[in-house]
Amino acid sequence: MNAGLPGTGIGGIFYLASALAMPLREAYRRVRGRARGNWRVVAAQLAIAGGILGAMWVTGWLLGLALATARPIARLGTSLPPGNVLRIASVALALGTLAGVLVGVELLRLWVHRDRRAPTRAGRERSPLIGKGTPAGGADSHVGHERRRVALLLVLGLVVPDPHGALAQSPGRVAALLARADSAWAARAESVAAREYAAVLAADPENSHAIYRLAQLTRDDPASALRLFQRYVELEPEDPWGYMAVGEALARAGRYGDALRSYDDALRLAPGEPEAIAGRAKVFPRARAAAPAVTPLVSGSRDSDGNTTFRVGGSAELAAQGPLRLGMEANRDRVTDGVSTAGLEQLALRAAWRPGRLASVEGALGGTRLEPSDNGSTTVVPTGRLRARWRSSTHGVTVDVRAQRGVLGVSPLLVDNRVVRTEVRTVVEIPATRALKLRGLGRTAVLSDTADVNHRTELGLVLALPLSPAIELSGQVHQLRYSHASTAGYFAPRLGQVVEAGSYVELESPGGWLLAIDVGAGAQRVAEFGRQPGPWTRSLRGYAFITAPLAPGRALQLELEGEDSMVAREAATTAGAWRYGSAALSLRWAL
């Protein structure tokens, strides 16, 4: 029977069966020549029965559609299939129950109305209890009738379901649904298993086994998986595996501190559990990396024109709040060319947001205070940067967009002229084949100073060949243009072209050591305004980044960079023939 659906109990089934049998009964009476009934009454009862059957089917279909649409437990990649909650098996069960009741009643009727023996006069005697003349056989008959009534009530109590009979069938239905879901899980039919476990939870929202399995099947949706695992822990607070699952889900969400606490709860319930120990050890370095940290920094650079820059500064970061992390940075630069010296002081607030493995947004906003070399008045320039990265999949299309506004402070002359560069750069990477990647680069910049505004544009094309996850070879072509020449202190040719071969290597050890090297070598030529392109000359560049771990969350970092080029792509050269080298040393210290 279907609990809560009118007309499907044994009373409703009895009425429907009686109404549907009325035409057959009237036809039988007509054939036997007996008194005829009223066909209008028969037709009316048939119409009522048909209406009840139609209403039952429509109600069951609407309930099935509503349950499939509501999805009360969790958002899934698959939804409950719409269907009719009225099942043939439940109607057959009601018919069977009704048949059992009717058979039992008929058997009891035959037993009750079997041949009775008439009482005799000799049997009359006065009852000592009531003081009246009572037939002895009548007393026995009365007791027998009472016994038969009690037996009838007992049979009806066994056959006819009580008001909670429908509810008593729910555990069986839940067990059947759970068996189907477990079979799909064992067969690795994940979409089917997810649908069946959701059906189990629709019938029994506190089924912890279904909740745990459904959470495992929704790992692609970290928020839903975490919510389900946490619900499992509420229902099964003594199961260490629930806490381990919550810890793993929290780590996937970037909440490493909470993940550590969850693993600690698992170890409290199961001390020495290898998987809990391994999970905690895996999360611990990330938790230290997400902890509050300070990073002091010192750096220096020198170019072929004699310009030297020395920087002292650092940054501080607050503890990561899930995918969001806030911090601040401050630096002081001293720029000199051997004759004059200028200074820059930078202060900015920064933030990083990583909603998932395939997307991130980073930015900083602040200002730079300029101290001219002639001891003139200082100026504060608003500065900032923004970077957004997105990848469709692990090996899919990648989009990297950067926007930046900063001061060109590589020489005292540039600082004195307050040269500010505002640029936007976009890099799109498309997998051309399984073995080749195609990258397109576009950049536009505005360079403004106290007397002029210049524009720079750059287009680039890179064909990359990954030899392994750690090594990549590439061929690159770049072309840049300025709108006009400049006397503010940077080299601005009409045209610059670079063709080079590059290589990128990134090696990481299990202990946390990291080495990244990006080098390129090729040829370049430039054309100044009013002149033809010059000869091709060499173009060299190199970059290295080394991380030496000291402890979880603490590491020493070294950056080295060098370039031999007339048109630097990342910086602004101060002359047509320009060489540049820099080094930066920082210490990240998690608190």
Q: Does the residue 386 lie in any domain? A: yes
Distance, in Å, from the CA atom of 521 to the CA atom of 496, rounded to the nearest integer, reads 16
- Of the candidates 289, 318, 353, which is a domain's last residue? 289
Clarify whether residues 313 and 273 are in a common domain: no
Q: Does the residue 165 lie in any domain? A: no
Clarify whether residues 229 and 377 are in a common domain: no
Q: Which residues pair with 318 in a beta bridge?
A: none
Clarify whether residues 282 and 320 are in a common domain: no
> Residues 277, 295: contact at Cβ < 8 Å?
no
- Of the candidates 238, 270, 289, which is a domain's last residue? 289
- The SS3 call for residue 486 is coil
Q: Residue 489: which domain range?
A: 291-590
Instruction: Say what the pLDDT of residue 16 is.
Output: 75
Q: Does the residue 132 lie in any domain? A: no
By the 10 Å C-beta count (0-12 exposed, 13-18 middle, 19+ buried), 214 is classed as buried
The CATH number covering residue 330 comes to 2.40.160
- The SS3 call for residue 488 is coil
Clarify whether residues 205 and 273 are in a common domain: yes
Clarify whether residues 381 and 527 are in a common domain: yes
- Of the candidates 92, 126, 154, which is a domain's last residue? 92
Q: Does the residue 178 lie in any domain? A: yes
Q: Does the residue 116 lie in any domain? A: no
Clarify whether residues 229 and 373 are in a common domain: no
CA distances from 184 to 187, 189, 235, 244 (A): 5, 5, 24, 24
Q: Does the residue 117 lie in any domain? A: no
Clarify whether residues 222 and 302 are in a common domain: no
The CATH number covering residue 213 comes to 1.25.40.10
Clarify whether residues 305 and 447 are in a common domain: yes
Burial profile 417-452: b = 16 or more Cβ within 10 angstroms, e = fewer: bbbbbebebebebebeeeeebebebebebebbbeee
Clarify whether residues 261 and 298 are in a common domain: no
Instruction: Say what the pLDDT of residue 25 is.
Output: 73
Clarify whether residues 413 and 371 are in a common domain: yes
How many CB atoms are closer than 10 A to CB 173?
17
The pLDDT profile of the chain, 591 residues, written as one tens digit per residue, is: 454 555 566 677 777 777 777 777 777 777 666 655 566 777 777 788 777 777 777 776 676 666 555 544 444 444 444 455 555 656 666 667 767 776 776 677 676 665 544 443 333 333 333 333 334 444 455 445 555 554 544 444 444 444 434 433 456 778 888 888 888 898 888 888 999 999 999 888 999 999 999 999 987 788 889 999 999 999 999 999 999 999 998 888 778 888 888 999 999 999 989 999 998 888 888 788 778 999 999 999 999 888 999 999 999 999 877 788 999 999 999 999 999 999 999 999 999 998 877 899 999 999 999 999 887 789 999 999 999 999 998 888 999 999 999 999 889 999 999 999 999 999 999 998 888 999 999 999 999 998 899 999 999 999 999 998 899 999 999 999 999 999 888 889 999 999 999 999 999 887 789 999 999 999 999 999 999 998 999 999 999 999 999 987 889 999 999 998 877 655 566 555 778 899 999 999 988
Q: Does the residue 465 lie in any domain? A: yes
User: How far apart are the two ends of the chain, measured CA to CA in Å?
Assistant: 64
Clarify whether residues 279 and 297 are in a common domain: no
Q: Does the residue 259 lie in any domain? A: yes
* Number of domains, the chain: 3
Clarify whether residues 430 and 317 are in a common domain: yes
